[in-house]
Chains A and B, each alone.
Chain A
Amino acid sequence: MLEAAIKKRLGQSSFALDVAFTAGEGITVIFGPSGSGKTTTLRAIAGMVTPDEGKIALDHRVYFDSAAPVDLPMQRRRVGFVFQDYLLFPHLTAIENVLYGIHAPNERARRERALEMLKLVGVDHAAERRPQALSGGEQQRVALARAIGSDPAILLLDEPLSAVDMATRSRLLDEIVELQRKTRIPFLYVTHSPADAVRIGDALLVLSEGNIVQQGKPLEVFNAPLNVPAAQVVGTENILMGRIAEHQAEQGISVVNLEKCRIIIPCTDLPQGARVTLGIRADDIIVSREPITRTSARNLLAGKVKHLLRDGERVELVADCGVDLKVRITPQAAQALELAPGVPIFLLIKASSCHILL
């Protein structure tokens, strides 16, 4: 369990980071726009940045405490760090990069463990290659193997996949989850991709201008922001996770099963049973007080209002329809429909408003 309370002013700018959170085993995603303090938070935990004030401890081992004072140097924190641009040592081969961080009693044990690490991430075939001869995805895999090989107590990943192509990214996301399940240490994963956050996060922290504006389960946070800053950061897209249940090609639709409901989307060529992440923009959802059935909108979901947020000339409404969905409407609509928390409503969504996120 990581416990962190970090206060840090950066340079002469007015930016001030002030966060306090805990992160247990599993993958905690830190999400926010650039300049929100995600990377500074990560760097403070690693020891690359010294907080002005605060305390950072992992499993009661104090890394930093401005009150004590304690400030453990990086090399004694056992914190693995994975950068966006891999940063493999260019003068060493893949396996030498992994060997660099491995502590073991003898040379043979070290080599065995290094190979095991490379196998774990599926790049043992490239063990003797230099980083320049590896693809972006392979380089990031070696960087993961190197970090895990040094037996860290926590792994920090700073937008690790933003430099690799889409297909590799999708595979690496699954591999990172698998790696976490095997190592059973906390992973802190910084990203600005909602799809990545929802796909791999066990917990989510939303940062805005140096503060945590909301935390919780990723899907809940994305689809039910509790306050205006959180709503602004997570954006206007609802993100839903499900599996393809069936195709009706001649009808031009596919059906996606979510946990507690099903959504009809335009026909896709993904195989039946495939996992999909759906995006539905909050502006594309119609709210009605009565069930409307004879309509071209293919999805009719019954639920009730969870809460309403007034954000300037918009009202952001969170509806509970088995899944949380956020809907953006005008204040006039909210007034005319007499919407308030607890009021039963129906949501209408066109199939074509439901798109698959990669």
Chain B
Amino acid sequence: MIWSAFKLSILVVSLATVIVGIAGTALGFLLARREFPGKELCDSLITLPMVLPPTVTGYYLILLLGRRGLVGRYIFDLTGWTVAFTWEAAMIAAGVMALPLMVKSARAALETIDPRYELVSFSLGKGELETFFRVTLPLASRGILAGVVLSFARALGEFGATLMLAGNIRGKTQTMPLAIYEAFISGEDHKAQLLAIILTLASVAVIYLTNVLTRPQKAQ
């Protein structure tokens, strides 16, 4: 049970972090650098899972992605597959819960970069994409990495929304936080303890990493 929960957590959290890292950076860039109608509404929607009870977020995800959900029904009609109660659901729940942290970190990091660096790059004949990857991203890399680490932590600890959308199926959708709950309920204290220690150590590592990454860089 511990081993399978550990493996599933690592898979779900790693994939969610990669996807959230990329999507969150892109969204953070749009919010930091572009003006478009509904920008603040967009920001609010992304932030919502940070303030909503996770079970409510999970509930909305079911309404959206469930077999009869707004989007889910079309997926089901087309493929006969539904995301609910699969490991992918755990990943989506973790990702949605982590996204606000990533977007906020990326937006803050990008907003501190003087946009004139990008103008210099354009004046040197470089396009937007090359400028983003060779100037903007490296300059904001510490803040973005800090966002990735925070997202990883948030995804690792995800419980409520996962339970709603993915359920608690041992070996299939049971991640570590869900396994702790089950171990505790069924009186397997030592298992719960071990899992709690693993998650605590991971959290300490995360705090340490974010502190290192967000520490103001000393000039040479």
Contact = CB atoms under 8 A, between A and B. Distances in A.
Interface stretch (A51-59, A86-94, A252-260): A86-94
Contacts of B120: 81, 83, 87, 89
B116 A74 contact: no
**A-B CB proximity, top 8 nearest:** A101-B124, A74-B122, A81-B123, A150-B124, A75-B122, A132-B220, A91-B138, A132-B219
B125 interface: yes
B7 interface: no
B127 interface: yes
Contacts of B124: 75, 100-101, 146-147, 150
A100 B124 CA distance: 8
A157 B219 CA distance: 27
Contact of A73 (B116, B122, B138, B139): B122
Interface in B178-220: 219-220
B125 A83 contact: no
B139 A91 contact: yes
B123 A74 contact: yes
Contacts of B127: 75
Contacts of A77: 123
Contact of A89 (B117, B119, B123, B220): B117
Interface string B121-133: 1111111000000
Contacts of A204: none
For B119, B123, B135, B139, the residue with the greatest tally of chain A CB atoms inside 10 Å of its CB is B123
Contacts of A130: 220
Contacts of A133: 220
Given A89-B135, A91-B138, A74 B220 contact: no
Interface residues of A, number: 27
Given A76-B125, A78-B125, A100-B134, 7 more contacts: A46-B119, A47-B122, A101-B124, A103-B125, A132-B219, A132-B220, A133-B220
A70 interface: no
25 contacts: A46-B119, A46-B123, A73-B122, A74-B123, A75-B122, A75-B124, A75-B126, A75-B127, A76-B125, A77-B123, A87-B114, A87-B116, A87-B117, A100-B121, A100-B124, A100-B126, A101-B124, A101-B126, A103-B125, A130-B220, A132-B220, A133-B220, A146-B124, A147-B123, A150-B125
Interface residues on B, range: 10 to 19
Contacts, number: 54
A48 interface: yes
A137 interface: no
Interface of B: 114, 116-117, 119-127, 134-135, 138-139, 219-220
Interface of A: 46-48, 73-81, 83, 87, 89-91, 100-101, 103, 130, 132-133, 146-147, 150, 152
Contacts of B125: 75-76, 78, 101, 103, 150
Contacts of A150: 123-125
A79 B124 CA distance: 8
Contacts of B220: 130, 132-133
Contacts of B119: 46, 48, 74, 81
The B interface is mostly helix, strand or loop, or mixed, namely: helix
A80 B123 CA distance: 6
Nearest to A83: B116
Contacts of B126: 75, 100-101
A139 to B, nearest CB: 13
Contact of A79 (B116, B123, B138): B123
For B125, B135, B219, the residue with the greatest tally of chain A CB atoms inside 10 Å of its CB is B125
B10 to A, nearest CB: 32
Contacts of B139: 89-91
B136 to A, nearest CB: 10
A77 B123 CA distance: 8
A46 B121 CA distance: 12
A133 B218 CA distance: 12
A147 B120 CA distance: 9
Nearest to B138: A91
Nearest to B218: A132
B213 to A, nearest CB: 15
A152 B120 CA distance: 13
Contacts of A101: 124-126
A73 B121 CA distance: 12
